[in-house]
C-alpha cells in the first residue's frame, strides 16, 4: 500500500494511549496493516505499531520469516498482526538487552523486560491469538505494545550509562543494522 513517515520521539502523538479496534476484517483495517507492513520492511524494523505512523489504534505487527539486518543474531519471530493486545508477565524474572526503535533513530539502550510473557489479542479477522513466549520474541512484543500505551523504550532504561548513539556504543555496526 504505502510506506508511511515514522513519527520520532518528541512527537506528542507517541505519548498518547491508542484506542481499541472496534471492528475487524474491514478494508480500512487491512489497509492500515498493509501500510504498517510496508513501512516496517522499508525500515528493516523488527516490528511497528500503528501510533508510530500517526494512527491511534491498538494494532502492532512484528516478526518475519527472514533475518533482520538490524538484529542478525536474534532468533526469528513468527510474522504476527496483533490487535487489542494484553500482556501478562509469567513470573518476576527480567532480562536486559539492547533495544533500538524506529521512532528513536540512531540510538540504543539497555532495557529490562519480563523474560517470559503470555500475550493475547486478535488477528485482523477477529480470531483469538493466545501465545506464551520468552526471550527475544517476548521483548519484541513488549516493545511494540508499549507504543500502544504511550511509552518509548528510553522510558524503561534504568541505567543511562547504557544508553546512547548506536555509532558510539557499537562502532563496528553496519549502517543496515543501525536504527
Give catalytic residue positions.
144
Q: Which residues contact 10 (CB under 8 A, 6 or more apart)?
A: none
Q: Which three cell numbers stand for residue 151?
A: 511509552
Residues written for the chain = 179
Q: HSE-up of 64 (CA within 13 Å, CB side)?
A: 18
Q: Which three cell numbers stand for residue 136?
A: 527475544
The side-by-side arrangement of strands in the sheet containing 59-62 is 47-49, 59-62, 80-89, 116-122, 128-134
Q: In 3D, which of 74, 66, 166 has the Cα closest to residue 175?
A: 166
Rounded to the nearest 5°, which phi and psi values hold at 140?
A: -60, -45
Q: In 3D, which of 82, 2, 78, 76 has the Cα closest to residue 41?
A: 2
Helix (H, G, I), strand (E, B) or coil at 45: coil
How many Å apart are CA 4 and CA 157, to the nearest integer? 28
Amino acid at each position: 500500500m504505502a510506506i508511511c513517515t515514522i513519527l520520532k520521539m518528541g512527537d506528542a502523538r507517541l505519548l498518547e494511549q491508542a484506542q481499541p479496534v472496534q471492528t475487524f476484517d474491514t478494508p480500512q483495517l487491512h489497509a492500515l496493516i498493509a501500510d504498517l507492513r510496508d513501512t516496517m520492511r522499508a525500515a528493516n524494523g523488527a516490528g511497528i505499531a500503528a501510533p508510530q505512523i500517526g494512527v491511534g489504534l491498538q494494532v502492532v505487527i512484528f516478526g518475519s520469516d527472514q533475518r533482520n539486518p538490524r538484529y542478525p543474531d536474534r532468533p526469528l519471530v513468527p510474522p504476527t498482526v496483533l490487535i487489542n493486545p494484553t500482556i501478562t508477565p509469567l513470573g518476576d524474572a527480567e532480562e536486559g538487552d539492547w533495544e533500538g526503535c524506529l521512532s528513536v533513530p540512531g540510538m540504543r539502550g539497555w532495557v529490562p523486560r519480563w523474560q517470559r510473557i503470555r500475550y493475547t489479542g486478535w488477528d485482523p479477522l477477529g480470531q483469538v491469538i493466545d501465545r506464551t513466549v520468552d526471550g527475544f520474541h517476548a521483548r519484541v512484543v513488549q516493545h511494540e505494545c508499549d507504543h500502544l500505551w504511550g511509552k518509548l523504550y528510553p522510558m524503561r532504561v534504568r541505567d543511562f550509562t547504557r544508553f546512547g548513539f548506536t555509532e558510539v556504543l557499537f562502532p563496528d555496526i553496519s549502517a543496515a543494522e543501525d536504527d
